[in-house]
Structure 1
Amino acid sequence: MNSRDIVLSRIRRALADVPREKGPEETPVPRDYWQRHAARNDTQRIELLAENLTDYRAVVHLCTSAELPGVIAGLLRHRGARRVVAPWAVPDGWLPDDVERLADSAEQSPRELDAVDSVVTGCAVAVAETGTIVLDAGEDQGRRRISLVPDHHICVVHAPSQVVDSVPQALSRLDPTRPQTWISGPSATSDIELDRVEGVHGPRSLDVVITSPGASAS
């Protein structure tokens, strides 16, 4: 038996319970897997998200909504950022007055975005169990490329409303027809010798600011 026959035999076994007159897409598939792996309150969920993001080398900041502009200003000041891309729905109050705000525009070339110091966005949902931030090109997130080309990304997560336990819970909130970007830490890859290289296909630096009514700036 050659490799082709082996693959085809496995497919036949997998489809053995599908009536011959029906295609696989017409046969209901039970989706009774766990929606999450533990029962958590809001505080525990936020703490787990922060812990897992940190494991992926993102830098996590906890603050209240009132403290958010000051935290973002401090992060931009620390990097010496002067030119910042922000989608139109990002409030002006999030950004300090001493930076040049650039709109998210279809006319921006990759070279122009590469020259930008930082990008500030919101998010669609955040997954605590995997330390993942999901963007879906919403009004405060903009086009995918603005979070992939600039070297520094500040992403704001509103807790507890945008934080869920698991990937299945996140998927139930997302529209599969929208462009999605799933982010777990700064962009990184490793070569055959396991030497880590950051910034290959996304920002080298990721700051995640989690706003929560009971948080204190950190």
Structure 2
Amino acid sequence: MASPRDDAKELRAEAVNKLIRDYQNGDCNAFNRLMMQYKYWQYIFKALCAKRVPAADAEDYTQQICMRLMNGLKTFRFQCAFETYLSSIIRNQVINHYRRGLKLIKRQFLSLHELISPDETEERLIDRLANPNALLPDAALRLQELHRIVGACLEAFKNKTLKLITCLWLYGLKQRQIAVLLQLSPGGVGSNLYRGQTRLRSCIRKNYF
């Protein structure tokens, strides 16, 4: 015998499916009723925040997911529960969020793999994103911590030229490009860069590993 809770869930699912069918049949207001009556706007936002997506990004993603639902529900075939369908969209959005974040960090610190060799490099973390079971927030937070430590290490550089050269190298510029940009000799850039790399490597290993 079904419990009252099961009966309530079944009635809710039937009501949700009816609104979706009404929307598919041309009732545009049915979508708004679906989202507002069952508080799916809040559900999406809270689900994103629960995955450690920043609130500002979660607001934008909530809008994007709702737009995706407006299009996707037109051809929804009821092969799964609506909330299962919605959860898959939210999960894909979370994966894309962290993939973009990790790629951005990777671009910003493209040369770090030449400087340090941790057990889990940026490349490995990004590769892990291809696995839907990866702990995306944990991976991203670890890279964010590395990002913070690198910034703190650079701030400790008292020599401004040394700091600037090291920063430009981290952003992917070659020694010749740095020399032209700063109007320095290639030899001067090379010696400063070696000193900067040595200090940065020591600082990162002291604070990150």
Smaller-chain TM-score bracket = under 0.3
| Structure (1 or 2) with the larger CA radius of gyration | 2
More helix by share: 2
TM superposition score normalised by structure 1: 0.20
More strand by share: 1
TM superposition score normalised by structure 2: 0.20
